Amino acid sequence: MIKVNGFAAERFMNMLSYRGVYLWDVESDGAGVRLKAPLGSMDILSMCAEKTGCRLEVKGYGGFPSKIRRYKGRQVLTAGILLFAVGLYLLSSFIWVIRVEGNERVPKEDILTYCQELGLKPAAWKRGVDPEEITKEILIQFPDISWVSVDIKGTDVTIKVAETIEKAEVVDKVTPCNVVAAMDGVILKITAERGTPMVKEGDVVKKGDVLISSAVVIGLEGEEQHTEYVAAEGTVTAKIWLQLTDELPLAYEEKVYTGETKTNRILSFWGKDADFVHPSLEEEQADAEILFQKDLALGDFKVPISIKKEQYRIYTLEQRNRTVDEAKAELAQTLREKTEKCLSPYGTIEKIEVHYEEYTDCVRVKGQAVLTERIEEKHTAEEGRDAIDGTD
């Protein structure tokens, strides 16, 4: 970067242009001209300035060579820059992030697990990954996938899949089978779509009894008849009884939080906690709650180091007593919740009958829940062939 002073500055630039010297960023500066020229053209610049009677003034040096010379005496900084460049190149030679797109029925975890067996995983060497081979193996392994594309861009891999058309659920209406009782009960309603009903409303059945037989008698009464076997189908609703028991003590301990909290920060290496500054709890009782947990990772590659922050809420245990009525109310609610957990989507609760037993230290309850449920299930046992004859 130079400044040319003199009355023949234009002649000076024309002479340089004639000799093939490239000039750029030319601008006037008072009585002179500022411009930039290649670093190796200083001899030609001086010669042309002398011939044209111009005076040269070097304002500064720029460009990469000049910056290199600036760091000539800073070996540590230069080595750090070189190491950073080498490290950046090496890190860009590995795969760090793997994405799966287009999957709905096939779980993403299954695809990633199988790719890991094929060598495609975070921290894998890019040159060791063959996208065409992985594509072929995925198509072989997953029959629900019809098309796969494995695309590597930078340190990311994107696996795009297209799934096959979902097959309709096949209902077997050919193989002979009976509809049997899944539990004991009293029949309320039976609807047979195929097969021969073996029970009627009001009948008491036990688990395993045939409700709708696969045997169907073909032919008019008084004429020759024959038996065919079908896949029995139908719905059977019954009233069932569920026995429940529970117990609740009158005296109990309750946590009373003092409002005091203590915080702890933990650094984990390979699953082992390095807890150097654990807060002193002495004989205090506390509930631990994780406020923050971060696993260090480079892309999808998890580094076996994690940071965790915990909070301890201090509490004391105080003795409490519930009344008999309070215990009965809690037990009634507990029995209802247990009953609801036993219900199927088709079931309803008719009523719950309870009997309480009071003791000095607790209350016990025995309950009987009356439910309306569907109790049919299919059974392919061969003994169903005899059901039409009245045998089980």
Going by pLDDT thresholds of 50, 70 and 90, the confidence category of residue 391 is very low
CA distance 372 to 188: 9
pLDDT of residue 190: 94
Phi-psi region of 44 (alpha: psi -120 to 50; beta: other; left: phi over 0): alpha
pLDDT of residue 70: 67
**pTM of the prediction?**
0.53
- Domains of the chain, by residue range, sit at 2-67, 94-163, 178-231+377-389, 261-315
CA distance 315 to 289: 13
Residue 126 φ/ψ, nearest 5 degrees: -60, -40
pLDDT of residue 29: 80
pLDDT of residue 390: 42
> Would you call 339 helix, strand, or coil by DSSP?
helix
Q: Taking residues 280-303, report their average pLDDT.
A: 79
Amino acid at 122: P
Query: What DSSP line would sit under 31-52, residue for residue?
Result: TEEEEE--GGGHHHHHHHHHHH
pLDDT of residue 386: 45
Look up the CATH superfamily of 94-163: membrane protein fhac (3.10.20.310)
Check whether 33 has a pLDDT greater than 60.
yes
pLDDT in tens, 129-162: 899 999 999 999 999 999 999 998 888 999 999 9
Q: Taking residues 21-42, report their average pLDDT.
A: 85
Going by pLDDT thresholds of 50, 70 and 90, the confidence category of residue 191 is very high
Q: Taking residues 81-86, report their average pLDDT.
A: 88
∠ at Cα 134 (131, 137), nearest 5°?
Answer: 150
Among the ranges given (16-30, 67-81, 347-361), the one the predictor scored with the smallest mean pLDDT: 67-81
pLDDT of residue 66: 67
pLDDT of residue 230: 87
Q: Tell me the two tokens of residue 185.
A: 């009960």
CB atoms within 10 A of CB 157: 25
Q: Taking residues 306-326, report their average pLDDT.
A: 90
Closest by CA to 365, choosing from 322, 321, 328, 337, is 328
CA distance 99 to 160: 8
Q: Who contacts 338 (Cβ-Cβ below 8 Å, separation ≥6)?
A: 244, 246
Going by pLDDT thresholds of 50, 70 and 90, the confidence category of residue 368 is very high
Check whether 270 has a pLDDT greater than 90.
no
pLDDT of residue 90: 87
Q: Taking residues 214-223, report their average pLDDT.
A: 80
Mean pLDDT, rounded, of the chain: 86
Check whether 372 has a pLDDT greater than 60.
yes
Among the ranges given (31-35, 71-75, 264-268, 279-283), the one the predictor scored with the smallest mean pLDDT: 71-75
pLDDT of residue 172: 66
Going by pLDDT thresholds of 50, 70 and 90, the confidence category of residue 170 is low
Determine contact, residues 161/103, Cβ cutoff 8 Å: yes
Sheet of 272-274, strand order? 272-274, 251-269, 301-321, 285-298
Q: Taking residues 378-388, report their average pLDDT.
A: 54
